[in-house]
Amino acid sequence: MSFSGYAARFLRMRPHPEVALAPLFWALFRVRTQEEREWFYPQETAAVSISGLDPVRILIIGDGPAAGCGVLIHELGIAGFLARGIAQATKRGAVVTVKAQPAASARSTLRRLDDMDLDGYDSIVLMLATTDAFCLTGRRSWQRSMTALVQGLTSAGAASVFVTSAASLQLTRSISPFARRLTGSHARLLNSETSRICAELGVPMIDLDAVNDLTSRTYATWGRRIAAHVTGALVAEGR
């Protein structure tokens, strides 16, 4: 029986298929991320700097899209477009640093949080949910990890913290329609939980457009949107 057939059988048998299918989807995710040849990430230093006075310092934490999946240099990824958007809007310099891992989950990111130096940043952008959506991370597990993450970031002293919605991955092009529907539905569930968490903790959530490809065009759209939110917060705070 194929993966899709096996998963569809579980869907008919279980009222909450994501619980039973999560181990299968995690195994598939690991295989795809290790074998998919078209998956590539920037290999250079994970920072983009735009020269200018009094540079705004931004930190991006997250998974595949935050790490620049689909582009060869960070200047063409979310970091580059965010840095240029911030510099243009503020007429200042900008330094965007990336601390992301392609297969990071909310739980693994939370474990790494104590080892991250969060001092000195004007804003922190948390870009997660892609890995967790595909691997069907349980709602309660996501809720616990994301709540602790957002609380940890807001208490780190950054002037502002932002959380983005789930982003799509090129991986979806190589999985079955059934798997795409299930992971898409799970992404919406996680987004709903994230929205509630952000509302309770007073942290802005930035919705990202759903896409099938991670390209420089996608990152340009997302970068402009995130830059608008960050710039608005800087102005409101008089920074």
Residue 7 scores a pLDDT above 50:
no
CB count, 10 Å around CB of 232?
13
The encoded tokens of residue 109 equal 């990111």
Q: What is the pLDDT of residues 118-160, one digit of tens each?
A: 999 999 999 998 888 887 888 999 999 999 999 999 998 767 9
- Domains of the chain as residue ranges with CATH: 3-236 (3.40.50.1110)
| H or E element that contains 90 | helix 78-90
Q: Taking the CA of residue 213 as centre, how many other CA atoms within 13 Å lie in the half-sphere pointing to its CB?
A: 6
- What percentage of the chain carries pLDDT values higher than 70? 78
Query: What's the token pair of residue 58?
Result: 């931004």
Q: State pLDDT tens for residues 190-211.
A: 999 999 999 999 999 999 987 7
Give me the long-range contacts of 187-191 (CB less than 8 A, separation at least 24).
187/129, 187/130, 187/133, 189/139, 190/129, 190/132, 190/133, 190/137, 190/139, 190/142, 190/166, 191/129, 191/165, 191/166
- pLDDT digit string (tens) for 105-127? 999 999 999 999 999 999 999 99
